[in-house]
């Protein structure tokens, strides 16, 4: 025996879809108001991506074509940003360069995110020494919390000669040579 679905069975689904469609513009507007810098960044990424995708149609010249009669010309109506030493149009080269910029930016973000994911999961799962070593892995080039504190506007002062001997004598790898600055506002200064 089959039962027929009532005519109003689809009404809740339709009402929910209409609510989602109405809520999307409100959510976008709320994001724009709450995150203006994020909005600007998103717009820039979208514009650069669209320019890179449509470079074949919007670039006025071939970016690799040499025009030796137009070498090193200043900006003009023929070449809006001028030409380089080989007569190539700079605007066309910038437009086609957007492709490379998007690919490099996305690749670097994906690789960095994957490495961070692997290190974070390993640190959380294994704990112990791994958990202590992972935060120190960012010191590869000698950068430490002191350098990162500079970007946060920390108050730096030189530690002085009376404390520098600890840098060389201590067995703690966190206190190695090269840590001549400390940030008194950063409580993690001795840990990272």
Summarised one tens digit per residue, pLDDT across range 91-138 is 999 999 999 999 999 999 999 999 989 988 888 888 878 888 877 766
pLDDT over threshold 90, residue 163 = no
pLDDT at residue number 156: 47
Coil, strand or helix at 21: helix
Per-residue tokens: 127: 């704990």
Residue spans of the domains in the chain: they are 36-133, 136-182
Per-residue tokens: 171: 């067995």
Higher local confidence (pLDDT), 183 or 60:
60
- Show the CA angle centred on residue 124, arms to residues 122 and 125, nearest 5°: 65
Category of 110 on φ-ψ map: left (φ > 0), alpha (ψ -120 to 50) or beta: alpha
Q: Does residue 55 contact residue 47 with C-beta atoms inside 8 Å?
A: no
pLDDT at residue number 179: 47
pLDDT at residue number 135: 75
pLDDT at residue number 125: 87
pLDDT at residue number 64: 92
Contacts of 5 by beta carbon, 8 Å cutoff, 6+ apart: none
To the nearest whole percent, how much of the chain has pLDDT over 70?
A: 60
Alpha helices by DSSP H, the chain: 11-34, 36-53, 55-58, 90-126, 128-133, 145-151, 161-169
pLDDT tens readout for residues 10-47: 556 566 666 666 788 888 899 999 999 999 999 999 99
Cα–chain-centroid distance for residue 177?
31
pLDDT at residue number 127: 80
Per-residue tokens: 164: 């520098």
Contacts of 183 by beta carbon, 8 Å cutoff, 6+ apart: 145, 146, 149, 150, 154, 155, 156, 189
């Amino acid at each position: 025996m089959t039962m027929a679905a009532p005519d109003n069975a689809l009404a809740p689904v339709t009402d929910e879809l209409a609510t989602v469609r109405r809520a999307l513009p409100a959510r976008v507007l709320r994001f724009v108001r709450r995150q203006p810098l994020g909005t600007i960044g998103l717009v820039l990424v979208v514009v650069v991506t669209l320019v890179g995708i449509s470079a074949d149609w919007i670039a006025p010249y071939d970016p690799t074509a040499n025009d030796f009669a137009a070498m090193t010309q200043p900006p003009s109506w023929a070449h809006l940003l001028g030409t380089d030493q080989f007569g190539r149009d700079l605007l066309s080269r910038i437009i086609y360069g957007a492709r490379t910029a998007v690919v490099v930016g996305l690749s670097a973000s994906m690789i960095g995110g994957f490495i961070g994911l692997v290190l974070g999961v390993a640190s959380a799962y294994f704990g112990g020494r791994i958990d202590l070593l992972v935060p120190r892995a960012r010191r590869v080039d000698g950068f430490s919390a002191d350098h990162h504190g500079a970007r946060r506007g920390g108050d730096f002062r030189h530690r002085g000669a009376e404390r520098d001997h600890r840098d060389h004598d201590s067995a703690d790898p966190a206190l190695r040579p090269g840590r001549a600055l400390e940030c008194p506002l950063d409580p993690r200064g001795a840990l990272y």
